Amino acid sequence: MELGPEFFTFVAVGFFAQLVDGALGMAFGVISTSALVALGVPPAAASAGVHAVETVTTAVSGASHAIARNIDWKLFTRIAVPGIIGAVLGAYLLTSIPADKAKPLIQAYLGILGIWIFWRGFRHIHVEREPRIVEPLGLVGGFMDAAGGGGWGPIVTSNLIVQGKAPRQTVGTVNAAEFLVTTSAAITFIYHLGWEVVTTATLGLLAGGVIAAPFGAILARRLKSDVLMVMVGAVLMLTSAFGIWRYFA
């Protein structure tokens, strides 16, 4: 496999995507999958390639968050187990049946959550408390992440923050649990599609993502809760608007 000039383009994409994902707990899948699909990669192959990359980047990111003490291990278990189940189901569905019909509704829902989180962070009214609805978030987040090429971070991170979980611990815990979720999805994809999903593009994303992972964890620890909420809300609004536009365009 020859590494041409496009390899370094994907290194840059992977670095940026992982920096955002490590700091805010979302967007690696959305950014990376969108880049692959825009270059003509079929959706199933794009999602499979991104999940293969994330098996490494999420491991590095999770370890970085653990070192930075950004992880709530009790919450980690509650979202990881149902997340694995959802990811396997979503990966199987995407390799068998197109699952795009619910995308506009999911994107609109995330956009509304983004506005709500942005407003609460901007007004400094976040009240920390333990979230009550956890396991269903893991199941839905894992399913949509595999079936839609991205969604674990936006769905799980945003809803936990809305319920009152501290943004820094939310980001760290969701990033760490993503390793198990995305590995489950990647194994399912490779079983159905083979190792052809590993291409120059996925290797570039991998290189850039591994380099950026430790920096994302540092940012998540140093940014104040209100600032993190504003940034999470802004990313949710932008990605949901882009997703809706791409679907209808």
- 167-208: per-residue pLDDT in tens? 888 988 998 998 888 787 777 766 766 666 667 777 888 888
How many domains is the chain partitioned into structurally? Answer: 1
By residue range, what is the domain housing residue 238?
A: 5-248
DSSP code per residue over the chain: ----HHHHHHHHHHHHHHHHHHHHS--HHHHHHHHHHHTT--HHHHHHHHHHHHHHHHHHHHHHHHHTT---HHHHHHHHHHHHHHHHHHHHHHTTS---TTHHHHHHHHHHHHHHHHHHHHTT-------S--HHHHHHHHHHHHHHS--HIIIIIHHHHHTT--HHHHHHHHHHHHHHHHHHHHHHHHHHH-GGG--HHHHHHHHHHHHHHHHHHHHHHHS-HHHHHHHHHHHHHHHHHHHHHHHH-
pTM: 0.74
pLDDT tens figures, 71-91: 999 999 999 999 989 888 877
pLDDT tens figures, 150-174: 678 888 888 898 888 888 889 889 9
